[in-house]
Structure 1
Amino acid sequence: MKTLPPLKSLQVFLYAARHSSFKAAAEQLFVTQAAVSQQIRLLEQHVNCRLFERESKHTRLTAKGQLLLPYIEQAFEQIGSGIHALAFEPNANNLKITALHSITSLVLIPKIHDFQQSHPQLSIHFSPNNRLDSFNDTEIDIAIRRGLGSYPGLESRKLIDDAIVLVACPRLLPESPQAPAEILDIPLLEDTSSDITEAVEDFCLRHQVKRRDFNPSLKTTDAVPIVQNVLAGQGMAFVSKVLVAEHLKNGNLVNVLDYAYHTPQTLYLVAPAHHFHWQKIKDFAAWLKTLLQQYMAVD
């Protein structure tokens, strides 16, 4: 691919073409008319064709110059839009977050007060959604999604390496269970999401049990009722560790047989790339990453 011409010569070409005058371009760019002529000559040498017809009282584009002009205009518009996106942070005092229902209900809402205390100028708005909204049609600032980090047209930044754990209320378990046979009669509240299904299959393989050996009680794709029912003593469940970390820490739940499956799917911050330059996003991302790292450190 041929090397691009200097940006300065393209800028000079744009001004000279718009004003049909080297003199007017020089005035706009605060340079001499001779400097404009030099830059145009450099550009014409680079593209190996004449771009302007130079006449005694004015200058006009050649056919090749007319062909080039809209491309250069579009390129500078794109550059301007990029600089504007970096410099301009809309609604700097409002932070609108879309996240999975489970993350919103079980992690963000219980803990967001800590973030607000450190950033009292920010008004926080949640938009729980298990589907990734279009950033073009909403005022969403940042999304939290669970997956492999591939979101076309958007930037994703991994928050943690997650694990799927098997949890239950202590009162529901025999004292210090050591083998799967001791817990298989406990009702299984099953999240049918793909990584949870993988964890169940991994558990069966590790402990040499069959899936039909479990006692299924409830199936859903929503982790919120799963966790709520496990806390109520209605059964055990394979769940994302971050959703139950606080309950593991305070003893409301226990990790059954110390089981953990390190899933390739995990939590990501997702947004257009320029959103990550906004200070409110930097502050929220730093706080959330620290919180989730503390969660994953729970034994």
Structure 2
Amino acid sequence: MRMPPLKSLQVFLSAARHKSFKAAAEELFVTQAAISQQIRILESYFATPLFIRENKQTQLNAQGLRLFPFIENAFEQIKLGVNAVKGEPNANELKVSALHSVTSLLLLPNINIFQEENSEICVQFAPNNNLESFMQNGVDVAIRRGFGEYQGLGSRKLTDDEIILVASPLLVGVDSQDPTEIFTLPLLEDTSSDIQEAINDCCKQFHINKAELRSSIRTTDALPIIQNVLAGQGIAFVSRALVNHNIKMGQLVNVFDYAYASSRALFLVAPEHHFNWPKVQRFEQWAKALFVS
């Protein structure tokens, strides 16, 4: 049996997904007229229309809806075959290197959602605050906080960030509206440079002498600081991205609603070609949704 042109099927898939010939043309880098021509070829092959064209929107009709899942699956199989030959290593295993804080506070508690949608992928976490050698350590993708520029590597922004002042609502004295009283509480101090910028800014804003702050912990690792602030051990300046969920759950409060716009953001980092791998693309999509929520 003569098969329809592969190009026409690719155009059909794109137009169906976008519900727009114009968007399909942009995705495939062709003209809208070329898209229409390929659809006409396909409809001529089947001797039946596949789309309902109404105003600016394009919808699949009953025959198009019947065809769509088969074409979608066929192209997914083609993609898997190409990746197998092209050499994507361990397509069903994903090794993620992430900051200790990001791994413990965000990834591990939520990874079940990714695995429900991608049950064939086994995820391995490699908590590390330094960028590893991707080839030597078999890392597929990393999550880092910074400016997005990593020599020899590509990056994709997950979310912007800001530094906020937080405390447990159970901490005695945290409900005070007097900054002088709040800043007599123990400070769980992150000595990272951007956190220090926020502390300086906050002290200036509330007329507090930084030298008089009572630091009970000092570290560059956000994880023990957030664990201790959740336990009611003091106040802390932390990345909003790491504690946004805790604030929504009422486990932490943003003291005085203080926020300092950070020049740093959270990024996915990897050799550029890794971002072409389906398993990395799926993880990227999930991670972006995680930070948005």
- What TM-score does the superposition give when structure 2 sets the normalisation length? 0.69
Task: Judge conservation of contact 2:147–2:264 (CA < 8 Å) in 1.
Answer: yes
Cα distance in structure 1, aligned partners of 2:144 and 2:94: 17
What does the per-residue CA deviation read over 1:235-277, in whole Å, with 9 as the maximum and x for residues that have no partner? 1100111211221111111001101111011111110100001
Describe the SS at the equivalent of 1:270. strand
Cα distance in structure 2, aligned partners of 1:247 and 1:189: 17
Unaligned runs of 5+ in 1: 1-82, 295-299
**Residue 190 of structure 1 aligns with which residue?**
189
Cα distance in structure 2, aligned partners of 1:181 and 1:284: 45
**Residue 121 of structure 1 aligns with which residue?**
120
Describe the SS at the equivalent of 1:150. coil
**Residue 227 of structure 1 aligns with which residue?**
226
**Residue 143 of structure 1 aligns with which residue?**
142
What does the per-residue CA deviation read over 1:48-94, in whole Å, with 9 as the maximum and x for residues that have no partner? xxxxxxxxxxxxxxxxxxxxxxxxxxxxxxxxxxx989943211100
Task: Judge conservation of contact 2:188–2:217 (CA < 8 Å) in 1.
Answer: yes
**Residue 40 of structure 1 aligns with which residue?**
none
Letter in structure 2 aligned against 1:107: L
Describe the SS at the equivalent of 1:243. helix
Letter in structure 2 aligned against 1:276: F
Unaligned runs of 5+ in 2: 1-81
Matched, 1:209 2:208: yes
Task: Judge conservation of contact 2:141–2:274 (CA < 8 Å) in 1.
Answer: yes
Once the two structures are superposed, the pairs formed by residues 229-248 of structure 1 within 5 Å of their partners are: 229-248=228-247
Question: Aligned in 2, Cα 1:175/1:106: closer, same or farther, shift over 3 Å?
Answer: closer
Matched, 1:199 2:198: yes
Letter in structure 1 aligned against 2:124: H
Cα distance in structure 1, aligned partners of 2:230 and 2:92: 37
Task: Judge conservation of contact 1:173–1:183 (CA < 8 Å) in 2.
Answer: no
Cα distance in structure 1, aligned partners of 2:230 and 2:155: 32
Give the C-alpha shift of residue 167 in structure 1: 0.7
Deviates more, 1:173-182 or 1:136-145: 173-182
Cα distance in structure 2, aligned partners of 1:173 and 1:282: 45
Letter in structure 1 aligned against 2:106: V
Give the C-alpha shift of residue 128 in structure 1: 0.6
Cα distance in structure 2, aligned partners of 1:131 and 1:86: 32
Task: Judge conservation of contact 1:85–1:274 (CA < 8 Å) in 2.
Answer: no
**Residue 163 of structure 1 aligns with which residue?**
162
Describe the SS at the equivalent of 1:267. strand
Letter in structure 2 aligned against 1:124: V
Describe the SS at the equivalent of 1:164. strand
Describe the SS at the equivalent of 1:132. coil
Give the C-alpha shift of residue 182 in structure 1: 2.6
**Residue 275 of structure 1 aligns with which residue?**
274
Task: Judge conservation of contact 1:166–1:239 (CA < 8 Å) in 2.
Answer: yes
Question: Aligned in 2, Cα 1:173/1:164: closer, same or farther, shift over 3 Å?
Answer: farther
Cα distance in structure 1, aligned partners of 2:85 and 2:261: 36
Matched, 1:284 2:287: no
**Residue 102 of structure 2 aligns with which residue?**
103
What does the per-residue CA deviation read over 1:9-58, in whole Å, with 9 as the maximum and x for residues that have no partner? xxxxxxxxxxxxxxxxxxxxxxxxxxxxxxxxxxxxxxxxxxxxxxxxxx
Question: Aligned in 2, Cα 1:86/1:193: closer, same or farther, shift over 3 Å?
Answer: farther
Describe the SS at the equivalent of 1:198. helix
Cα distance in structure 1, aligned partners of 2:214 and 2:132: 37
Cα distance in structure 1, aligned partners of 2:201 and 2:172: 21
More strand by share: 2
Question: Aligned in 2, Cα 1:90/1:175: closer, same or farther, shift over 3 Å?
Answer: closer
Task: Judge conservation of contact 2:165–2:238 (CA < 8 Å) in 1.
Answer: yes
Once superposed, which parts of structure 1, at least 4 consecutive aligned residues long, lie more than 2 Å away?
83-88, 173-179
Task: Judge conservation of contact 2:83–2:277 (CA < 8 Å) in 1.
Answer: no
**Residue 92 of structure 1 aligns with which residue?**
91
Give the C-alpha shift of residue 208 in structure 1: 2.0
Letter in structure 1 aligned against 2:201: D
Aligned-residue Cα RMSD (Å) equals 1.8
Deviates more, 1:239-248 or 1:116-125: 239-248
Question: Aligned in 2, Cα 1:85/1:144: closer, same or farther, shift over 3 Å?
Answer: farther
**Residue 292 of structure 2 aligns with which residue?**
293
Describe the SS at the equivalent of 1:97. strand
